[in-house]
């Protein structure tokens, strides 16, 4: 599959997180709706309200099953609005859905919902994860069985409102010549619903070993954390947001540091680039989205998949988004 294909033509689904459970591929997207809210840099027009789950045993030629709504914002006890990106992890017979949601004070936190099955339905816990903030959770299980959660997003994702895991009064990005704000990483404890320690900065270095600068908008982190492991290396991939690249960095530990390596996906039609990378039946795939089917409406996105290829040195071959 060298040409990207759309996966759900009849509904607007975005931010696809793909995982293999019990030999079957499951996709956990966010669900775009047209809420009639004007576009702005805070992302208020992305007013998602529920999650579906999709699965298939053949991503290239098979049928994609829609398991329906598995979690609704109205069923989350602490909910305010905007049910943004999510991810799912498995541990000890249960499936944990980690989601981004604003509370009733319009502050983003990470929440957890639990199910006995990968296709849901999921039941949300009464409160957000203690000490969590911002958006876009991704959970990665390392080869030793430890689980790590990655998160963070600028602008509407509110990451700029925090320093050292504490809210600050006047949140803003650093100046162009200062180090960029970092995505966050924390190991999960055995309960899978709390951090095992304080979230750390995931530092992305340039080719000289220096942290990427805040003004380096073509390479610095903006949102959409994803982690995968390939051939002895950890790959942290992410979106640059306002420059619309999907980039990656490589490291030797789930905590990093990571060294910037290049672009996975060039800009697509639509403002955001959000993705996941998953191996299934011996092939690697990039799941992402664009806004072509909606006529370029950035808040109505459609998820896609394309095969992903590595070079002999472990770097990833760039895919053209348009």
pTM here?
A: 0.97
Q: Work out the pLDDT band at 41, boundaries 50, 70, 90.
A: confident
Residue with tokens 């109505």: 300
> Where in the sequence numbering do the catalytic residues fall?
15, 223
When mean pLDDT is compared across 33-42, 67-76, 96-105, the lowest value belongs to: 33-42
The helix, strand and coil proportions of the chain, stated in percent and rounded to the nearest 5, come to 5, 45, 50
**Is CATH 2.115.10.20 correct for 5-308?**
yes
> For residues 171, 175, 178 and 180, what is the CA-based torsion angle, rounded to 10 degrees?
60
At 248, is the secondary structure helix, strand, or coil? strand
* Interval 50-60 mean pLDDT: 97
pLDDT tens-digit series, residues 11-24: 999 999 999 999 99
Average pLDDT, the chain: 96
> For residues 2, 264, 276 and 310, what is the CA-based torsion angle, rounded to 10 degrees?
60
Query: Given this model, what pLDDT does residue 138 score?
Result: 98
Query: Given this model, what pLDDT does residue 42 score?
Result: 86
Q: Cα separation of 169 and 183, whole Å?
A: 20
| For the chain, percent of residues with pLDDT exceeding 70 | 100
Please choose, from the candidates 17, 192, 16, 23, the residue with its C-alpha nearest in 3D space to the C-alpha of residue 115.
192
pLDDT tens-digit series, residues 227-277: 999 999 999 999 999 999 999 999 999 999 999 999 999 999 999 899 999
Query: Given this model, what pLDDT does residue 170 score?
Result: 84
- Is the pLDDT score of 44 beyond 80? yes
* Interval 303-315 mean pLDDT: 98
Please choose, from the candidates 145, 151, 287, 309, the residue with its C-alpha nearest in 3D space to the C-alpha of residue 230.
309
Query: Given this model, what pLDDT does residue 243 score?
Result: 97
Q: Work out the pLDDT band at 322, boundaries 50, 70, 90.
A: confident
Query: Given this model, what pLDDT does residue 299 score?
Result: 95
pLDDT tens-digit series, residues 160-177: 999 999 999 888 999 999
Domain coordinates in residue numbering, the chain = 5-308
Q: Work out the pLDDT band at 3, boundaries 50, 70, 90.
A: confident
Query: Given this model, what pLDDT does residue 90 score?
Result: 98
Which comes out higher in pLDDT, residue 230 or 2? Answer: 230
pLDDT tens-digit series, residues 179-215: 999 999 999 999 999 999 999 999 999 999 999 999 9
Which residues contact residue 79 at a Cβ distance below 8 angstroms, ignoring those fewer than 6 apart?
73, 101, 103, 104
């Amino acid at each position: 599959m060298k040409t990207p294909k759309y996966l759900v033509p009849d509904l607007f689904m975005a931010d696809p997180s793909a995982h293999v459970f019990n030999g079957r591929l499951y996709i956990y997207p966010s669900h775009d709706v047209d809420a009639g809210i004007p576009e702005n840099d805070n992302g208020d027009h992305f007013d998602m309200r529920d999650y579906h789950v999709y699965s298939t045993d053949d991503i290239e030629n098979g049928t994609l099953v829609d398991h329906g709504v598995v979690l609704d914002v109205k069923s989350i006890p602490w909910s305010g609005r905007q049910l943004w990106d999510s991810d799912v992890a498995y541990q000890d017979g249960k499936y944990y859905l980690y989601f981004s949601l604003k509370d009733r004070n319009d502050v983003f936190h990470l929440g957890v919902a639990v199910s006995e099955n990968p296709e849901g339905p999921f039941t949300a816990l009464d409160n957000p994860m203690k000490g969590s903030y911002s958006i876009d959770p991704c959970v990665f299980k390392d080869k030793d069985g430890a689980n790590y959660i990655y998160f963070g997003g600028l602008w509407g994702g509110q990451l700029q409102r925090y320093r050292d895991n504490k809210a600050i009064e006047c949140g803003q990005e650093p100046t162009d010549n200062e180090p960029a704000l970092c995505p966050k990483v924390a190991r999960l404890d055995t309960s899978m619903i709390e951090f095992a320690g304080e979230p750390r900065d995931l530092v992305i270095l340039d080719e000289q070993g220096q942290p990427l600068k805040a003004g380096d908008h073509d390479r610095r982190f903006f949102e959409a954390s994803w982690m995968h492991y390939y051939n002895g290396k950890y790959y942290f991939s992410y979106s640059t947001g306002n420059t619309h690249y999907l980039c990656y960095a490589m490291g030797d530990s789930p905590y990093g540091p990571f060294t910037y390596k290049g672009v996975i996906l060039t800009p697509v039609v639509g403002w955001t680039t959000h993705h996941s990378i998953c191996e299934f039946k011996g092939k690697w795939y990039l799941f992402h989205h664009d806004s072509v089917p909606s006529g370029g409406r950035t808040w109505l996105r459609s998820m896609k998949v394309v095969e992903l290829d590595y070079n002999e040195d472990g770097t990833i071959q760039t895919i053209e988004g348009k």
